[in-house]
């Protein structure tokens, strides 16, 4: 029988809190959402940008939470601490301290969530695994995911994101990974960070939480690789392993093949060669999977186990997931890339679209603004023109004010529509689609293209 996630005694010891009318002696799940409570749940009343969890404590207790971690308020069922988010971090530290598992931290401008999922798939083939869900990778998401890690987990995988300097460092110091993966450096968050080198420096903060003797795993397919190597050395990283398509890396991706439904490559490590096959297309997916293969090797997992697990790895919602809607003989193919966008991921997505054949109609693309690019926004949006033309798209819909720069570069017969906001674009785009089309939707999450994805699924799904 597995031990509880936390006993009440362990929670009080970790947080220094005071329990008021808490009858439960065990906690087996932790939540910050009063609507989503697991078994024997502890509700943590953190204060977010829009909501304060303290306003929902009574609702959480009524919905089945056995206790609430709070920094104010009176009544039974409460564990009172000076700061609820600080208390959550205390629980995360306690979970990490007791863990004997192999812990991995993942960051990067592009591909961190997909790489995290690839690692989860590989680790699950080898033992009990705990991994971050969705994109819970910020100042509250990482401690929440770490606090949820069972004591018995053999592997833990945690994604770490940032919008500015000094955000990844405390997350990594909390997680204390044995391996730190940086998937890429690309033009994301330029508005706050100013340059690709500054982005690399912010990502390299992950080195500062590495366990003694830990390993940095670095994608070498970007100009900032030498800077990352210097920063790793300055941080005292004991071992660095590189991977990618570039020559001279420790794990080189060679003989790559990409098609509409799959991709494959030979991964070369010294005298060893591994045949990597994926049921998803794209060079970027080969890169993400190779990172997982490298980390699996560091964790002592047999290559055959990792390669077999990766064969069943698929793209995630908002990050390339494919959905077939409608009749079998003439469906609509929906490719959902609605969660994130920068110049690197836009290029990768458009390359994938170029390899796709529509089920029986046209290739349609919907592109939303790439956010947080600062003064470079106009140039970078206009710079997508060649990739759009080469994608083979026959209909192009653009959403967002920054996309005006791209709209100005496209010929009238290719540009189907441009709208400043998704609300005004929704009916136009859905009305332009038909069964047989292949439609790819790509943009930053803040543009709201997930609304379009939901509407297409509702309109084109057959009952």
Task: For residue 216, give the H/E element and its range.
Answer: strand 215-219
pLDDT of residue 194: 87
DSSP code for 47: B
248, β-bridge pairs? none
Task: For residue 95, give the H/E element and its range.
Answer: helix 84-98
Residue 386's Cβ-side half-sphere holds a number of Cα atoms within 13 Å equal to 3
Q: Could you list the mean pLDDT of each consecutive 10-residue stretch along the chain, which spans 463 residues?
A: 93 96 96 94 92 95 96 94 97 98 96 94 97 92 98 98 95 98 87 90 98 97 97 97 97 92 94 95 93 98 97 84 92 93 89 90 95 90 95 96 96 95 96 96 94 95 67
* Residue 37 tokens, joined: 């409570």
**Counting beta carbons within 10 angstroms of the beta carbon of residue 24, is it exposed (0 to 12), middle (13 to 18) or buried (19 or more)?**
middle
Token look-up 């601490």 returns: 81
pLDDT of residue 344: 87
- Residue 13 CA: distances (Å) to CA of 6, 95, 132, 153, 337: 11, 12, 25, 22, 44
Contact status, residue 57 vs residue 68, Cβ threshold 8 Å? yes
Helix/strand number for the chain, H first, E second:
17, 22
130, β-bridge pairs? 156
- Residue 16 CA: distances (Å) to CA of 83, 86, 181, 367: 11, 11, 34, 49
Q: How far apart are CA 278 and CA 257, in angstroms?
A: 10
- The topology (CATH level 3) of 99-311 is 3.40.1190
Where do the structural domains in the chain lie, given as residue ranges?
Answer: 6-83, 99-311, 321-460
pLDDT of residue 463: 45
Annotate 398-451 with DSSP letters as a single string: EESSTTHHHHTTS-TTTEEEEESSHHHHHHHHHHH--TT-EEEEE--GGG-HHH
Task: For residue 233, give the H/E element and its range.
Answer: helix 225-234
Q: How far apart are CA 436 and CA 455, in angstroms?
A: 17
Among 1.10.10.10, 2.60.120.10, 3.90.190.20, 3.30.70.100, name the CATH number for the domain at 321-460: 3.90.190.20
- Class at the top of the CATH hierarchy for domain 6-83: alpha beta
Token look-up 């064969």 returns: 311
Contact status, residue 268 vs residue 249, Cβ threshold 8 Å? no
- Residue 120 CA: distances (Å) to CA of 60, 133, 150, 175, 296: 30, 10, 15, 16, 10
């Amino acid at each position: 029988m597995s031990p509880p996630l936390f006993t009440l005694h362990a929670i009080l010891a970790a947080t220094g809190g005071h329990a008021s009318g808490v009858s439960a002696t065990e906690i087996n799940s932790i939540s910050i959402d009063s609507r989503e409570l697991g078994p024997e749940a502890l509700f943590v009343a953190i204060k977010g940008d829009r909501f304060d969890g303290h306003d929902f404590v009574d609702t959480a207790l009524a919905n089945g939470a056995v206790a609430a971690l709070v920094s104010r308020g009176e009544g039974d069922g409460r564990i009172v601490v000076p700061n609820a988010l600080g208390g959550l971090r205390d629980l995360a530290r306690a979970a990490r301290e007791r863990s004997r598992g192999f812990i991995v931290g993942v960051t990067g401008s592009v591909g961190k969530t997909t790489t995290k999922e690839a690692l989860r798939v590989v680790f699950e083939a080898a033992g009990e695994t705990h991994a971050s869900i969705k994109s819970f990778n910020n100042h509250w998401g990482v401690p929440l995911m770490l606090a949820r890690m069972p004591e018995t987990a053999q592997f833990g995988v945690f994604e770490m994101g940032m919008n500015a300097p000094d955000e990844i460092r405390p997350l990594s110091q909390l997680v204390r990974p044995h391996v730190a993966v940086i998937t890429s450096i690309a033009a994301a968050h330029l508005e706050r960070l100013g340059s690709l080198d500054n982005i690399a420096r912010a990502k390299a903060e992950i080195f500062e939480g590495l366990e003694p003797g830990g390993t940095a795993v670095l994608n070498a397919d970007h100009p900032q690789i030498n800077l990352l190597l210097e920063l790793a050395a300055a941080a005292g990283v004991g071992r660095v392993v590189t991977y990618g398509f570039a020559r001279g890396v420790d794990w080189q991706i060679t003989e790559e093949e990409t098609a509409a439904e799959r991709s494959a490559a030979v991964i070369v490590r010294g005298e060893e060669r591994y045949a990597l096959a994926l049921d998803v297309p794209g060079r970027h997916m080969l890169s993400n999977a190779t990172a997982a293969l490298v980390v699996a090797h560091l964790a002592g997992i047999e290559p055959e186990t990792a390669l077999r697990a990766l064969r069943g790895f698929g793209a995630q919602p908002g990050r390339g997931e494919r959905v077939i809607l409608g009749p079998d003989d003439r469906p609509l193919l929906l490719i959902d890339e609605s969660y994130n966008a920068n110049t690197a991921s836009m290029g990768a997505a458009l390359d994938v679209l170029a390899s796709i054949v529509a089920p029986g109609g046209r290739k349609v693309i919907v592109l939303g603004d790439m956010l947080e690019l600062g003064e470079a926004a106009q140039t970078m949006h206009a710079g997508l023109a060649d990739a759009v033309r080469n994608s083979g798209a026959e209909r192009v819909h653009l959403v967002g004010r920054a996309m005006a720069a791209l709209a100005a570069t496209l010929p009238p017969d290719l540009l189907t529509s441009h709208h400043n906001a998704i609300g005004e674009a929704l009916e136009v785009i859905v009305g332009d689609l038909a069964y047989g089309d292949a439609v790819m939707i790509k943009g930053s999450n803040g543009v709201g293209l997930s609304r379009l994805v939901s509407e297409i699924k509702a309109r084109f799904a057959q009952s």
